[in-house]
Amino acid sequence: LMLAALPFAMNMAFAAKAEKAAAPAADAPTLSAEDKAASGKTYFERCAGCHGMLRKGATGKNLEPQNTTKLGSSRLEKIMTYGTEGGMPNFDDILSKKELADMAKYVQMPADVPPEWGMKDMKESWKLVVPVAERPTKQMNDVNLKNVFAVTLRDSGEVALINGDTKEIWGIVKTGYAVHISRISASGRYVHVIGRDGRYDLIDMWYKEPKIVATMKAGYEARSVDTSKYKGYEDKYAVVGAYWPPQYAILDGETLEPLKLVSTRGVTVDGEYHPEPRVASIVSSHDKPEWVINIKETGMIKLVDYSDIANLKEVTINSAKFLHDGGFDSTKRYFLVAANASNKIAVVDTKEGKLAALVDTAKIPHPGRGANFTHPKYGPVWATSHLGADVITLIGTDPKGHPEQAWKVVQELKNHGANSLFVKTHPNSKNLWSDAPLNPDPELAGSVSVYNIDELGNPDAKSQVINLAAAADLGKTKGLQRVVHGEYNEKGDEVWFSVWTGNKTEPSAIVVVDDKTRTVKKVIKDKRLVTPTGKFNVYNTQHDVY
């Protein structure tokens, strides 16, 4: 299989296998076959993640014809062009007027039901590029692997591995389209990357230059991956979650051979059937042979025991609908996940295998993996920012030492804007950083807020707002320069942000900030750095340090 051509192949296969949904209403807008196919491709690349393949809604609103036809073409086009305060980004910088007008019509037409992708398809897509026995037996380079950053080059379908010590690009590998996350194997040797188009690549960092040693396709759309981290299972298994078809697969951790496939279709916490319960975040326990797998639309959190995959045990925890992203508290006992369109954070006690709490928050929390630190007044807390509100929420995470504050919102800090995606700190840092990349205002999208953690006991604590897009000095671009996703280096004395122009024909950059002085230490600019978004430091990702 020609994996490099997958986004294209995907569309062809998709078009060929897609079942047509019910015929459109007589007065519904229409598009030529060519324009419909083009809009379908854009919908998959830009919209399906939030609104769902079947357009039933999750992070974004339900876009089925019974709702969209009420809004009509001109209103829909405005929303898509300019975005909304509710978290919908503007698309006028990446889509043309015609594309926006066509998309406004497209979403008023019935959604096509996409095809399945079963074990047979997975096995046929699987390619073991280098068998384990033929791989290096020791590290063949002198790179400090712990401080390498795996950087998503979203629109070029690549991952750059950047040497964190020298800030030089060590290697670029061709991956799936718009890699969503990179996760590191327990040994720290392998980088597991999952593309939005479901292509999953395993990168071996022991070669002279990073090299893909295995690849497979986990579905048509995917966002999450992790590996087995418990003692005795290091690098043994991998798990990959798909958005479409709604399912997760367990694979061999060193070869990506598909071993087991589990569907996530079923009823929601309300007891209603849902045809598209997508797999959102996955984390791997360090204390048990277990993954925490979050099913978006059902609001169910699965604790999957991988010690006997032939007789797989799943504990199903009911929380709240629209589970999305999350991370551990500092002890790694509790996992906190955003039920984003429910405006809640669900807390799972992985030791007891139970829901510890459901915490109400401001609109649409979006933590990434969140940020853990000790608050001067409230003790250990975990933080999230929000897509739908200009605040950073702090939640107490220490039921033993600080029972009054545990699983309560102890403080809301002001963020410089709504439409934030990620917060970040590090155990060696006194700073809490937050972005607002999806804000339609260029000044806010290009800036970050930073708080001094030691000052948070003062209710009037103020943040410093720094425009890092300006610091990158990319000149005028058509696309908004969105500053996104802070990530620390291994030592915790530098924090890296992407300046993402959202368009592969325009320049982007990575800005490295000295954490102590909050001044720019280095701007990494390189024509090979096409639309950088997520950055994953090997050590911090391997050990869940955030």
Catalytic residue annotation: 47, 50-51, 88, 324, 366
CB closer to ligand DHE out of 181 and 203 = 181
Provide the β-strand partners of residue 130. none
Segments in 52-129 forming alpha helices (H): 65-82, 97-106, 119-125
Residue 307: both structure tokens together: 């010690």
Residue 277: both structure tokens together: 């319960």
If one asks whether residue 284 binds ligand DHE (CB under 6 A), the answer comes out as no
| Choice from 215, 255, 429, 533 touching ligand DHE (CB under 6 A) | 533
| Choice from 153, 178, 339, 495 touching ligand DHE (CB under 6 A) | 178
Per-residue burial over 168-179, b = 16 or more CB atoms within 10 Å of its CB, e = otherwise: eebbbbebbbbb
CB closer to ligand DHE out of 293 and 413 = 293
Residue 20: both structure tokens together: 């047509």
If one asks whether residue 489 binds ligand DHE (CB under 6 A), the answer comes out as no
If one asks whether residue 485 binds ligand DHE (CB under 6 A), the answer comes out as yes
Cβ 335 vs Cβ 292: under 8 Å: yes
If one asks whether residue 383 binds ligand DHE (CB under 6 A), the answer comes out as no
Q: How far does CA 313 lie from the centroid of its chain?
A: 26
If one asks whether residue 51 binds ligand DHE (CB under 6 A), the answer comes out as no
Candidate segments 114-122, 255-263, 279-287, 426-434, binder of ligand DHE by CB under 6 A? 279-287
If one asks whether residue 223 binds ligand DHE (CB under 6 A), the answer comes out as yes
Minimum gap (Å) between residue 64 Cβ and ligand DHE: 18
> What distance in Å separates the CA atoms of residue 267 and residue 321, rounded to the nearest whole number?
11
Query: Where on the phi/psi map is residue 322: left (φ > 0), alpha (ψ -120 to 50), or beta?
Result: left
> What distance in Å separates the CA atoms of residue 264 and residue 220, rounded to the nearest whole number?
15
Place of tokens 């966002």: 223
If one asks whether residue 282 binds ligand DHE (CB under 6 A), the answer comes out as yes
Q: Which of 217, 255, 37 is closest to 116 using CA atoms?
A: 217
Query: Where on the phi/psi map is residue 475: left (φ > 0), alpha (ψ -120 to 50), or beta?
Result: left
| Choice from 154, 274, 386, 416 touching ligand DHE (CB under 6 A) | 154
Minimum gap (Å) between residue 52 Cβ and ligand DHE: 9
> What distance in Å separates the CA atoms of residue 109 and residue 527, rounded to the nearest whole number?
40
User: Which helix or strand (DSSP H or E) is residue 97 part of?
Assistant: helix 97-106
If one asks whether residue 429 binds ligand DHE (CB under 6 A), the answer comes out as no
If one asks whether residue 181 binds ligand DHE (CB under 6 A), the answer comes out as yes
Minimum gap (Å) between residue 138 Cβ and ligand DHE: 30
If one asks whether residue 421 binds ligand DHE (CB under 6 A), the answer comes out as yes
DSSP one-letter code for 137: S
Minimum gap (Å) between residue 84 Cβ and ligand DHE: 15
Minimum gap (Å) between residue 462 Cβ and ligand DHE: 26
Nearest residue to ligand DHE on Cβ basis: 49
Cβ 408 vs Cβ 395: under 8 Å: yes
If one asks whether residue 224 binds ligand DHE (CB under 6 A), the answer comes out as yes
Minimum gap (Å) between residue 226 Cβ and ligand DHE: 7
CA neighbours within 13 Å on the CB side: how many for 106?
Answer: 27
Minimum gap (Å) between residue 490 Cβ and ligand DHE: 16
CB closer to ligand DHE out of 29 and 157 = 157
If one asks whether residue 542 binds ligand DHE (CB under 6 A), the answer comes out as no
| Choice from 3, 10, 31, 50 touching ligand DHE (CB under 6 A) | 50
If one asks whether residue 325 binds ligand DHE (CB under 6 A), the answer comes out as yes
Segments in 369-460 forming alpha helices (H): 442-445
| Choice from 29, 40, 49, 365 touching ligand DHE (CB under 6 A) | 49
If one asks whether residue 423 binds ligand DHE (CB under 6 A), the answer comes out as no
> What distance in Å separates the CA atoms of residue 219 and residue 242, rounded to the nearest whole number?
6
| Choice from 152, 268, 330, 415 touching ligand DHE (CB under 6 A) | 152
At position 477, the amino acid (one-letter code) is: T
At position 248, the amino acid (one-letter code) is: Y
Cβ 387 vs Cβ 366: under 8 Å: yes
DSSP one-letter code for 155: G
> What distance in Å separates the CA atoms of residue 106 and residue 484, rounded to the nearest whole number?
30
If one asks whether residue 324 binds ligand DHE (CB under 6 A), the answer comes out as yes
> What distance in Å separates the CA atoms of residue 107 and residue 277, rounded to the nearest whole number?
20
Q: What is the torsional sign of CA 103, 108, 109, 115? A: positive
| Choice from 534, 538, 540, 545 touching ligand DHE (CB under 6 A) | 534
If one asks whether residue 175 binds ligand DHE (CB under 6 A), the answer comes out as no
Minimum gap (Å) between residue 273 Cβ and ligand DHE: 22
SS3 of residue 494 by DSSP: strand
Candidate segments 140-148, 161-169, 280-288, 308-316, binder of ligand DHE by CB under 6 A? 280-288
Minimum gap (Å) between residue 502 Cβ and ligand DHE: 9
User: Total number of residues binding ligand DHE (CB under 6 A)?
Assistant: 22
Q: Which residues bind ligand DHE (CB under 6 A)?
A: 49-50, 59, 152, 154, 178, 180-181, 223-224, 280-282, 324-325, 368-369, 421, 484-485, 533-534
